[in-house]
Chains A and B, each alone.
Chain A
Amino acid sequence: MDAIRLDLDGLAARVSDGAKIALPPDYSYCAMALVRAIIARNVRDLHLVGVPALGFQADQLIGAGCVGTVETAAVTLGEFGLAPRFSASIKAAGIRMLDATCPAIHAGLQASEKGVPFMPLRGVIGSDVEKRRDDWVIGQNPFAENDPILMVKAIQPDFAVFHAPLADRFGNVWVGVRRELMLMAHAAKSSLVTAEKIVDGNLLDDPVRAAGTIPGLYVGAIAEAEQGAWPLGIPGGYDADQDELARYVDMARTEDGFAAYMAGTKAVAAE
């Protein structure tokens, strides 16, 4: 079956107000071009799920006022430090924050992947992270006595949103070892994917490549986007544009600077 192929705006149009979207961390394959297209549509009240942490994508979506809830183990810009629009928004109580811890996000997605309501996880008990989550429950290991264990409610995003180096016309998406994208795709109701290149052949025909490929079954629609992770990089592809990221971090310190940055990036993209 052929995949639904759209352009960036077409993909972005599928994300409606209030959608729960799963996003990868900056070191994975981030669909930055698609995120800019979502921002351009003025989507509101998104629920972001960081798998397991968020970075530039979330900071830009938050800065643009697209986000209502952030569920993540962290929001960080790595060597560039704190995420400025995220920090400002938290201080102003402008977003609902669901602090998590990395493996709890993975566990919640794994529960959805299996179609079960929750997933047990070691650790976490006694932390304020656990105490502040009413969707996490401390239960009892049924196979032992007096062994409390955390149960994390299943997380089912409406969309997994990510980029990939390669896809084919059937919607099969190669992600290699970046298998958090596989987990996101399995757990979400549907995935919106951009790829550097969409080829005519079938990626599943090559057994070496098939193991790192998400089948089109999980993919709602794809769009070709060369340099789609820019200004982030893609591992094994191109490096992050350090100058551009630094320029963002500098400008995003203020609300006005952020707006000017986004307007400028939009103008460059339109050329």
Chain B
Amino acid sequence: MTEQPKADEAGVILGPFRIRRLFQKTLFGVFALFGFIGVATASLAVYTVDTQLTQEYVSNSRDIAKTIADSSVDILLNRDLAALQSLVDQFVEIQGIRYIYITDETGEFLAHTFVPGIPEEILASDTTDTATVERSLPGMGDFVEVGSPILAGFAGNVHVGMDTGLIALKIQRAIGQQIYLICAVFVVGVFAALWFVNLAARPIGELLTYAANLVQRGGDAPEARVLERQDEAGQLARLFRLVAGGRRD
């Protein structure tokens, strides 16, 4: 919808017409486009980061569990549990690993890193099972736990718990960075859209002003700058003047 333009004392419409609806539609289009891009890229990022990080962490955990299992054989056979605990303590310093426990072939705990005690959920679980499981431990968080047998399980099993909260944190960071980028692009896009809309709207406004003057004054309408334009607005203005009975260039 266009706004009613001002006119001088002689009835010449001065314009300019303000092109609001076109402007609003363009802005809405920009918002919609960026919203769609934002949601789509964020979703893709969440999926990609989550999948790849989880796979990487699980893979690393398996490697670590296997390394501990391989390193533990002699220590376990020597029944040197202090050395076993020392080994476990070194691995638990790796980022993302929140707990490690080692059980013997009967399921008895020989070394672990839990404070103040072994969680009930883990005590109640089948510690001879080395399959990857997801655990939610009250007061500790959510974990992906992987296992590895020691001497094919005849000497016990190693279990490594990776903190999925860390994965969530990394996803949050990745999404956060993406949102910052999209916001920055959005602001630039809005200003660019405004500039382009104004650029496109100015000749249309001049054309509207000229057309209104033609309607008001017929062939006596004053010359307008839009008539000099070589683009579609200029051609349209000249056509209007012809239709209104004005001179032909």
Partners in one complex: no
A contact set with B: CB distance below 8 Å: none
